[in-house]
A and B are shown apart, each in its own frame.
Chain A
């Protein structure tokens, strides 16, 4: 039920630039590591631009587009060239291919923003629709609740993720009530509207845990930061994983990657 807004004709070569995302840079190192491991398993050559910081989304969503443009200009400077830019986050990817062009509508450097947008991929979208990998090897014996993050709307990512997860031996994806509902994070929204944000998150956690999954899985660490933050405050300790970690661990479990 969504209209695509991912750019058309993106390059999908096997030599890419990786945008770690600031959340993985600061809090979720293993997610970035899993991203590297699965991409290299697929034979992808990874360049990690050292100057990278953040995609500019916090200020964009917070309403300070001037500040956001400053950061986006830095992103453009850091991610030079024509390789695909692969991003293990639906929301940072959407910032690059949808948000940034919006914020630069009236700016003279819009073409540079559009050029970056035109080679940016959410990780699993790149794997499935870029590289053409339609199923995943390996084993992951667990019940998971998959939270399809809001920024995957209007892209092929959600479908791609389900396709890969479903193809893994041993995995069971539990049904979710109100699967389309937001986790309540929303960047600065989570601190400027703490009551609404927490109610939304609490409800989402309730729905995710309803069928007692072993893991909550998502493609966005923003959602995981929020859901995890709520779960860790409660007595529950259901672990959370990024899709990349599931894909990596599935390979490891089947002996296809070094443990």
Chain B
């Protein structure tokens, strides 16, 4: 069907096996999420609400908590750096690598490093940089981009991956998932040993103790961090929680929301570089707090989006994401959270992504599953209004203009005349109505018979 919206065209043209992989993966994870939360907690909503309040509180006092976190990280022996932009964060990381004579980086999954395009930056600087999360590793060898926050290769099937492994010399074609995983494991093990620096993100940083919390299922973040002399953590400034004890609620919600697990396989609490009494571990810990327009988001009317803990539940449940896949969103963060966050992080390029908030039926399923209870539909609506006010054309494409309708709907006389006149619709096939909205509707749907004013007449004339 004809469409003026890029995301809609992407969904129309997507290969069937990709769409099915995304749909099936999302549906399965959503259902697991629901059942594990329902069976483990009497009132999971109360938990979501509480977690949302803690995060909102943190955001409202972010300046204080960042200072506390810095002081406590330093007390633990970590070096703390601040980067206003993604470029600055990349430069700091390259400088740290030069300072410690590092050539080879092994890297765990980090969404903020996707934002800064860290890997390609480091490669251009002559460093080796290997993604160790299996999904991200496959994305890297394919020169692809993640299409999901938690499951970066939800758009690929095992046959695609087997072909990639064959091409990269990781063995003959074999699409058995266990074989694929084993081969990646052997390859990556050597990379861990050869590396001299490990980079991770952080799921949380406790301001109270300076503890960095990392969760993974593969143990790769631990290996990156613990087996190297230098550990770098790249962290969005919104990743803070006030106290260690707050982690109880977030760790209970994060894995359940993201993958339907009670807890991920590995949960690490990192207190800084190794102490002299400890036999092994990194000698140097560097933490880079990245702003990259987050403080602008904090000052906007959509600041609640910074509560996000990157679980991906809103992607999995979203009926639009299930039809489009993540790449349709043309940005690092896809799905409902991405439709809010990506246009905001784009700064002055907001107009280019102003169609993202339109890619939603506003069904509210995202809000209902969000572990920090972000009112995503409200934020999407605010951004639609912003796009309209700022005249961002991409967002308005295909949406019928509302001015005339608003005039009609605020003048009862005209409205009732319209109800009477509308009956002509019953004599014209919808195919013939020369309006783009009518055309878009009729291509796949019929309109019922027009009955304008009949109820009013009945109500007046009865008895």
Interface residue ranges, A against B (CB under 8 Å): 1-3, 20, 22, 24-30, 32-33, 36, 48, 50-54, 56, 58-68, 70-71, 73-74, 78, 99, 102-103, 150-151, 153-154, 178, 180-182, 184-201, 203, 225-226, 228-230, 232-233
Contacts and interface: CB of A to CB of B under 8 A. Distances in A.
A3 B49 contact: yes
Contact of A191 (B368, B419, B440, B449): B440
Interface in B375-421: 378, 381-382, 384-385, 387-388, 395-403, 405-412, 415, 419
A230 B442 CA distance: 10
A92 B358 CA distance: 20
B17 to A, nearest CB: 16
A187 B397 CA distance: 15
22 contacts: A1-B44, A22-B409, A26-B419, A29-B451, A32-B459, A50-B456, A61-B362, A63-B384, A63-B385, A63-B395, A64-B402, A70-B410, A73-B410, A150-B363, A153-B363, A180-B317, A180-B368, A191-B399, A193-B11, A194-B441, A198-B444, A229-B447
B16 to A, nearest CB: 12
Interface in B1-29: 1-5, 7-9, 11-12, 27
Given A1-B368, A29-B451, A67-B402, A200 B320 contact: yes
Contact of A70 (B2, B406, B440, B456): B406
Contact of A36 (B44, B403, B415, B459): B459
B451 to A, nearest CB: 4
Interface in B303-340: 317, 319-320, 323-324
B279 interface: no
Contacts of B48: 3
A58 B402 contact: yes
A51, A62, A63, A151 — most chain B CB neighbours (10 Å):
A63
Nearest to B412: A51
Interface in B121-151: none
Interface in B350-367: 357-365, 367
Contacts of B405: 58-59, 67
Contact of A63 (B388, B410, B443): B388
Contacts of A1: 34, 38, 44-45, 368-369
Contacts, number: 236
A73 B405 CA distance: 14
Nearest to A2: B368
A64, A70, A188, A190 — most chain B CB neighbours (10 Å):
A64
- 9 A-B pairs with the lowest CB-CB distances in the bound complex, closest first: A186-B361, A63-B384, A229-B445, A192-B398, A182-B363, A67-B406, A74-B410, A51-B412, A59-B402
A187 to B, nearest CB: 8
B359 A232 contact: no
A58 B9 CA distance: 23
Contacts of B357: 63
A94 B450 CA distance: 25
B446 A193 contact: no
Contacts of B400: 62, 188, 191
B437 interface: yes
Contacts of B427: none
Contacts of A200: 319-320, 323, 361
B278 to A, nearest CB: 44
B284 to A, nearest CB: 45
B369, B448, B452, B456 — most chain A CB neighbours (10 Å):
B448
B63 interface: no
Given A63-B385, A154-B364, A196-B8, A53 B410 contact: yes
B360 A230 contact: no
A61, A191, A203, A226 — most chain B CB neighbours (10 Å):
A191
A20, A102, A230 — most chain B CB neighbours (10 Å):
A102
